Chains A and B, each alone.
Chain A
């Protein structure tokens, strides 16, 4: 099989340095792991800035770096809604209002909080669904990494995922959550340093932000949208048909901005666990708020390269500008028309070397020719021909948008750094999933249902076994995660099934003392079933019946998978919310004294008025929200 580039010794040297430090951290932290609390909660000993960066980094896995780059290419700047609308408000909410209950209750996991607040069955339902979801996410991450490295540099899929899985296993096995968190902070900085030059070089190549806007106007026109559809976040959200996301403002705000966002950031143990490792209540509350600052800037590092991938490279270069003839030919747009350079003078020679190297092999040249920008089309594995959708348009392999930018712009050395940053993102995402899995498995499943009442060292041992099992199951899951064009869409779908109803359960549990265990359990079950029914009765336009929906019969179609996912989440949340209320009102409430510290109205309000503003969660949260609002307005 052909691949897009090959590595030099300097690239391998960069990777080896990184691997040495990652493994070294595992070894250095092993001596601090003596109890279950040390292993599962890092001894609740970490300062807010460390847990804050780990909070964002655990989420900065493959779905973020590759998926957001893919979405940037597919949907344009509207992808920023996943940050400025779909993350920041929820991060402020969990830090200011929910963390007092998570940290203050001394629960060791999110499912355990559900047990304390509601009952055993609600905890069991959440523990099992969460454990399944984490290894599934981890498997997607590994699959994406193996596929990518195989395509980019020709590494064996099996070897890639075994090595990455082995390294993650080593440092999470040795250092537990502490090992994962320390490495996540390291990985966060590596990802920033590995990808920041990509946005800079790409923007420079297209003539800055104004050049990018001009070129994306061509793309928008070719896809039947208004001029600014790829460069405005809100202006084209009036109707689903006006924007590439295929969703209108109400579905976006309710589906992504409220249900999916709050469902993920406020209830997903993968991220909440990082805050639980903080050394004080104040640090735990500030964890998501500190994370929110770099989070709102991440689009410039992960989404912008995807947008640039649509318009840089040979596709928009003047014929003859590039030495290698096949690549210099104008590319086809997604509907088969020729895409010519709007302004040849803007096409610099930056990155030509990488592109020339890519197209030097005749077999690869057609791949580039048929692409848009530098994004190649998805290839049908059976025929070796580019895939086309129901309307006969080329299906682009959006997941390759960011990796192709790396290959296009980075010379040897920096390419090693960029690929190492990619590896770091895969590893941080996987480690986050594995450490969340081992805690939920050990405390919420094994200790609760299989072997209760054992001494602490027994559960520490089980935690290590669960770490090995988590990695092994992730490896297995990697081999079955190959059906979606965009892995972000797939993850959003999973979150819609599991997390969307969960937020209704937590919101009612924390802020309505009348909510009962029977209400919560029935609501969760109904919400998840409602998600499945809605997904089974709807289908995105152009998709085939199956994993993408319609398996109960198609009664409605959506312009995009995301539009379908957002509405599935809304249906799941609403069902869970209403059913929980009705069943709670029909069942016996718990006495107030049993719920102190677990419900808002029965818990003393945290007083932090003596602290400077930057240590006060409410003040910090207000600053974060204002900054996010400013970004929304700037890119309106």
Chain B
């Protein structure tokens, strides 16, 4: 593969996850910031961040293997 697609996927989800998690953490006590009492921005942001990091780890491992 000419460009390992895990790089853009990993970078984008890490960025989006971090953005949502930080925003969710900062606004968790604000009215309307949760859904059904769940701090969804914070929790889902962390899930996305974890996914992004897994993708980046995969891309890094592949680069080392090829290098």
Contacts and interface: CB of A to CB of B under 8 A. Distances in A.
B2 interface: yes
Interface in A394-415: 409-414
A417 B47 CA distance: 13
Given A412-B33, A413-B41, A18 B16 contact: yes
Interface string B30-44: 011111111011001
A350 interface: yes
Interface string B1-36: 111010011011101100110011001000111111
A532 B23 CA distance: 54
Contacts of B51: 189, 193
B3 A182 contact: yes
A28 interface: yes
B38 A201 contact: yes
Nearest to B37: A350
B36 A349 contact: yes
Interface of A: 10, 13-14, 17-18, 21, 24-25, 28-29, 32, 43, 45-47, 50, 178, 182, 185-186, 189-190, 193, 197, 201, 204-205, 348-351, 353-354, 357, 409-414, 417
B48 interface: yes
Contacts of A13: 19
A186 B1 contact: no
B16 A205 contact: no
A413 B2 contact: no
Nearest to B24: A413
A182 B8 contact: yes
A184 to B, nearest CB: 10
B55 to A, nearest CB: 9
Closest 7 CB pairs of A and B: A350-B36, A353-B32, A413-B41, A21-B12, A32-B2, A10-B23, A413-B23
A205 B38 CA distance: 12
Chain B interface size range = 20 to 34
Given A18-B12, A18-B16, A21-B11, A185 B5 contact: yes
A57 to B, nearest CB: 12
A14 B36 CA distance: 22
Chain B binding surface, main DSSP class: helix
B10 to A, nearest CB: 10
A45 B38 contact: no
Contacts of B8: 21, 24-25, 28, 182, 186
Contacts of A417: 16, 20, 44
Interface of B: 1-3, 5, 8-9, 11-13, 15-16, 19-20, 23-24, 27, 31-38, 40-41, 44-45, 47-48, 51
A360 to B, nearest CB: 12
Contacts of B12: 17-18, 21, 186, 190
Contacts of A351: 35-36
Contact of A411 (B2, B40, B47): B40
Contacts of A178: 2
A99 B15 CA distance: 38
A411 B32 contact: yes
B56 to A, nearest CB: 13
Contacts of A354: 32
B36 A205 contact: yes
Contact of A413 (B13, B20, B38): B20
B36 A348 contact: yes
18 contacts: A17-B19, A28-B3, A29-B2, A47-B1, A50-B5, A186-B5, A186-B12, A193-B48, A350-B36, A350-B37, A351-B36, A353-B31, A411-B33, A411-B35, A411-B40, A413-B41, A414-B20, A414-B40
Contacts of B32: 353-354, 357, 411-412
A178 B37 CA distance: 42
Contacts of B36: 201, 204-205, 348-351, 409
Nearest to B38: A201
